[in-house]
């Protein structure tokens, strides 16, 4: 049964064209060169392997700019930079509004110590404190008229001065502090004339210190004089008190 069909097939193929071979439906392939008349195409082979990739093509033209994206997340805070150079001083600003008036403060205590005294009669006794009994000022009672001495009650710096009328005898007067002569004054009497002698000094005193005037030397130098028209005075006062 198979053999008659094969014979028929061989008879039919040359009638359609002895010079061409079909590759597929509707496609005719030329017969190979040198082929014999009446050749028969074989069964198609398996597909070949893929060839190696070709070279990259040229870059294309840049595309249009895209839309702006959303802001990214805030990054961590960076390290503090170095201090910059000081800038130029700016113009002076306008005055501000005055502040509120403050509360009244406590009044400061003022330390006071002062005296001014004078003689009422002539001095005839040397080497003892001169008792000035005419009181011009002694409000704090720091001067003692019974002894002729000033008593320090406030430590600080004091100013002392004296003005002596010289008459009948020479005068040698010294200012004492704590049994030590601090200042000396000498004036020679001119016969039939009234003379003047004076002195002044700054002294720092502690509480309990005493200051006074007295005639020094022998008995011929006690010409310290005073009457109703001539005065001999002794004055002292606190300049400023110690703060510690």
- Per-residue pLDDT tens digits for 33-76: 555 556 566 788 888 888 888 888 888 888 888 888 888 888 89
Classify residue 107: in a domain, yes or no: no
The number of folded domains in the chain is 1
Round to whole Å and give the CA distance between 184 and 216.
9
Q: Which domain holds residue 160?
A: 114-241
Classify residue 75: in a domain, yes or no: no
Classify residue 10: in a domain, yes or no: no
Q: Is the pLDDT of residue 15 over 50?
A: no
DSSP per-residue codes, the chain: -HHHHHHHHHHHHHHH-TT-EEEETTEEEPPPTTPPTT-------PPPPPPPPPPPPPPPPP-PPPPPPPP-PPPPPPPPPPPPPP-------PPPPP-PPPPPPPPPPPP--EEEEE-SS-----SSB----EEEE-TT--EETTTTEEE--S-EEEEEEEEEEEEEEEEEEEEEETTEEEEEEEEPPPTT--EEEEEEEEEEE-TT-EEEEEE-SSTT-EEEE--SS---EEEEEEEEE---
Q: Is the pLDDT of residue 158 over 50?
A: yes
Round to whole Å and give the CA distance between 223 and 168.
6
Classify residue 92: in a domain, yes or no: no
Classify residue 60: in a domain, yes or no: no
As beta bridge partners, residue 28 has 22
- Arithmetic mean of pLDDT, 160-179: 92
Round to whole Å and give the CA distance between 134 and 200.
20
Question: Which tops the pLDDT comparison, 238 or 27?
Answer: 238
Predicted pLDDT at 18: 45
Classify residue 55: in a domain, yes or no: no
Classify residue 180: in a domain, yes or no: yes
CB 233 within 8 Å of CB 204: no
Predicted pLDDT at 23: 47
Task: Give residue-wise pLDDT tens across range 112-147.
Answer: 999 999 999 888 788 999 999 999 999 999 999 999
* pTM exceeding the 0.75 threshold for the entire prediction: no
Distance of CA 240 to CAs 111, 122, 161, 174, 204, Å? 8, 34, 17, 24, 10
Task: Give me the CATH number covering residue 212.
Answer: 2.60.120.40
Classify residue 122: in a domain, yes or no: yes
């Amino acid at each position: 049964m198979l053999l008659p069909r094969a014979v028929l097939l061989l008879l039919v193929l040359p009638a359609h064209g002895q010079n061409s071979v079909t590759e597929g439906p509707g496609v005719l392939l030329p017969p190979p060169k040198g082929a014999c008349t009446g050749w028969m195409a074989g069964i198609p082979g398996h597909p070949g392997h893929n060839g190696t990739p070709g070279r990259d093509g040229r870059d294309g033209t840049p595309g249009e700019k895209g839309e702006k994206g959303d802001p990214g997340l805030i990054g961590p805070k960076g390290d503090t930079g170095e201090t910059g150079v000081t800038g130029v001083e700016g113009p002076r600003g306008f005055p501000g509004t005055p502040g509120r008036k403050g509360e009244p403060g406590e009044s400061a205590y003022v330390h006071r110590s002062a005296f001014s005294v004078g003689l009422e009669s002539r001095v005839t006794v040397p080497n003892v404190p001169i008792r000035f009994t005419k009181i011009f000022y002694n409000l704090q009672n720091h001067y003692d008229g019974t002894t002729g001495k000033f008593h320090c009650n406030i430590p600080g710096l004091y100013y002392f001065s004296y003005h002596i009328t010289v008459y009948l005898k020479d005068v040698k007067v010294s200012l004492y502090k704590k049994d030590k002569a601090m200042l000396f004054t000498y004036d020679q009497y001119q016969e039939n004339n009234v003379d003047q002698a004076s002195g002044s000094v700054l002294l720092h005193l502690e509480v309990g210190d005493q200051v006074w005037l007295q005639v020094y030397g022998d008995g011929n130098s006690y010409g310290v004089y005073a009457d109703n028209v001539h005065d001999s005075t002794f004055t002292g006062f606190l300049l400023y008190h110690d703060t510690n």
